[in-house]
Amino acid sequence: MTLFGLILLCSNEFKTLKDSIPLGVNLLAVSKGHHQDSIRKLSSYGQLDFGESRLQDAIPKKKDLNDLKQLRWHFVGTLQKNKVRGVIKEFDFIHSVSSFSLLERISRISQEEQKTPNIFLQVKLKDDPNKGGFIKQDLLKSWPQIISLNNINLIGLMTIPPIALDSYQRKNLFSECRNFANHLELKDCSMGMSNDWQEAIKEGATWIRLGSLLFGKRQT
């Protein structure tokens, strides 16, 4: 039996969690792999930002939640070229833009769709065969072209530490991401997940992305 609408926290526990997040840090509830009723439940506690990692999973959930007009949708998954138009149409934020060619495509299609998505550039600050993202040097090299692109609202950097890092290395990686964003004069850093969000906040995260801490173990 599957219980839909189930989340780990009751409203008081959610409030306690929210109270422990400093002002200026935003909570993204990553609802991938969870039923729309769980999203509805969490939204009833006041949560407005939800993250999904697959376009085809997000579309039916959004349809079901269509009455909740105030929700903001964030794309956090690997973005494939052929999904860009759909993602631009369905999402307000994209956290996972991992290459210049992808960013150019987003800019072009956003113009066609008359949209201006909020964009995080995903950066890879340590070698990680499992993850995409800009290498620092490449991002710096493309920077003049990046900032001249239309119809993208470039707000920050996003990073995911490789699994193998210890907490000291993770802290350094988060701090490096914050410094790099500052250098590029970007306000936001999307970093920190269920297992390391407190460290990420200490190092300057402005968006933390929590999945299992809010929703429990994923169903898919």
CA dist., res. 174 & res. 88, Å (int): 28
User: Who's near 9: CB < 8 A, 6+ residues apart?
Assistant: 17, 214
# residues near ligand PLP by CB under 6 A: 13
- Which listed residue (64, 162, 212, 216) binds ligand PLP by CB under 6 A? 212
The answer to whether residue 76 forms part of the interface with ligand PLP (CB under 6 A) is: yes
Site for ligand PLP in 146-205 (CB under 6 A): 160, 193-195
Q: How far is the CB of 125 from ligand PLP (least distance, A)?
A: 15
From 79-87, 98-106, 136-144, 207-215, span contacting ligand PLP (CB under 6 A): 207-215
Distances 133 to 113, 128, 129 between C-alpha atoms, Å = 25, 10, 11
The CA distance from 161 to 99, in Å, is: 18
Stretch that binds ligand PLP, among 2-10, 40-48, 148-156, 209-217 (CB under 6 A): 209-217
Please tell me whether residue 211 binds ligand PLP under the rule CB under 6 A.
yes
Q: From residue 176, give the alpha-carbon distance in Å to each of 187, 198, 203.
A: 14, 16, 9
Distance CA 160, CA 27 (A): 16
Based on the shown chain and the rule CB under 6 A, indicate whether residue 103 belongs to the binding site for ligand PLP: no
Label residues 154-193 b or e (16+ Cβ within 10 Å = b). bbbbbbbbbeeeeeeebbebbbbbbebbeebebebbbbbb
- As a whole number of angstroms, the distance between CA 99 and CA 101 comes to 6
Residue 62 or 209 having the CB closest to ligand PLP: 209
Rounded least distance, CB 76 to ligand PLP, Å: 4
Residue type, 35: H
Task: Give the shortest CB-155-to-ligand PLP separation in angstroms.
Answer: 16
The nearer residue to ligand PLP, 114 or 220, going by C-beta atoms, is: 220
**Residues in region 16-55 near ligand PLP by CB under 6 A:** 30, 32, 53
| Residue 190 Cβ vs ligand PLP, minimum distance, rounded to whole Å | 8
Provide the binding-site residues for ligand PLP, judged by CB under 6 A.
Answer: 30, 32, 53, 76, 160, 193-195, 209-213
